[in-house]
Amino acid sequence: MSNLKNKLQNFKKRKEQITCLTCYDSSFSKILNDSKIDIVLVGDSLGMVIKGKENTHSVTMDEILYHSKCVSTYKENFILMADMPINSYDNIDIATLNAKKLLEQEVDIVKVEYQDKHFEVIKGFVNAKIPICAHIGYLPQKSKNEEDIRIYGKDKKEKEKLLKQAKLLESIGVDIILLECVDSDLANTITRSLITPVIGIGSGEGCDGQVQVLYDLIGVSKNPPKFSKNYLANGNNIPEAIRNFYNYVKGINRK
């Protein structure tokens, strides 16, 4: 087992919740590093919060590489995860080439939005020892309109599909699973069914950790999702807001 996989599974074994925040530049990377955030994600949410677009679809591989390089500047304590943007993992050759470019920028683990058509790519990554986070539930890269932004896994068919996908991904050997907008009871069931750590965004508190878009947390996103929480509202400054998120997720001084 790789050191990273071991490190991630150890969070779950010792029942320590994982904190994950997005980041796109070196100034915030320093704050997140000092705040001991476990995973820092260079997310393709940069399409909205950096580029001001409606969705993630315009984000390119070069942009993710550039922002990963910026964020890696202060990487000392955190695990650096980066999104594979839309069209960057359509087949195994292109996916492996792009993932390796990210690993060259000190990225520790790449994230892909998983659909059944990506099965071979995921298997190829595992064979090539490219650490991988599989993102399931709401998939922003697949999303065509606002109606796609909803809770997934409420009905029996979707519930079974997501549970089956999560178990399959574990059996192939992904390092971590991210659930976005998954029904909280289902998210809890998936989390309890796997030894693989499961982190969630908008998926309730029953996962092994929580993810948030940094700009939602500090109240500067134009359209923050309903489930996000502005931690700056009750904090005096950005480092304090991040510490409050960290403490809340880790269950420290939680009222």
Q: Which stretch binds ligand KIV (CB under 6 A): 26-34, 36-44, 115-123, 166-174?
A: 36-44
- Is 219:230 a contact under the CB 8 Å cutoff? yes
Q: Closest distance between ligand KIV and the C-beta of residue 22, in Å?
A: 4
Which among 86, 89, 43, 34 is positioned nearest to 67, based on CA atoms? 43
Establish if 29 lies at the interface with ligand KIV (CB under 6 A). Answer: no
Establish if 197 lies at the interface with ligand KIV (CB under 6 A). Answer: no
Contacts of 26 (CB under 8 A, 6+ apart): 70, 71, 73, 74
Establish if 83 lies at the interface with ligand KIV (CB under 6 A). Answer: yes
CA angle 238, 242, 246 (to 5 degrees): 165
Q: Which residue is nearest to ligand KIV (CB)?
A: 43
Q: How many CB atoms lie within 10 A of CB 4?
A: 14
Nearer to ligand KIV, 1 or 98 (CB): 98
Q: Which stretch binds ligand KIV (CB under 6 A): 26-34, 37-45, 73-81, 160-168?
A: 37-45
| CA–CA separation, 248 and 230 (whole Å) | 13
Among 28, 31, 43, 182, binds ligand KIV (CB under 6 A): 43
| CA–CA separation, 89 and 123 (whole Å) | 12
Which among 30, 37, 207, 201 is positioned nearest to 113, based on CA atoms? 201
Q: Closest distance between ligand KIV and the C-beta of residue 180, in Å?
A: 6
Q: Closest distance between ligand KIV and the C-beta of residue 25, in Å?
A: 14
Where would I find the beta strands (DSSP E) of the chain?
18-22, 39-42, 79-83, 109-113, 132-137, 176-180, 198-201, 209-212
Q: Which stretch binds ligand KIV (CB under 6 A): 25-33, 39-47, 149-157, 241-249?
A: 39-47
Among 162, 198, 213, 242, binds ligand KIV (CB under 6 A): 213
Residues carrying an active site annotation: 180
Q: Which residues bind ligand KIV (CB under 6 A)?
A: 22, 41, 43-45, 83, 178, 180, 201, 211, 213
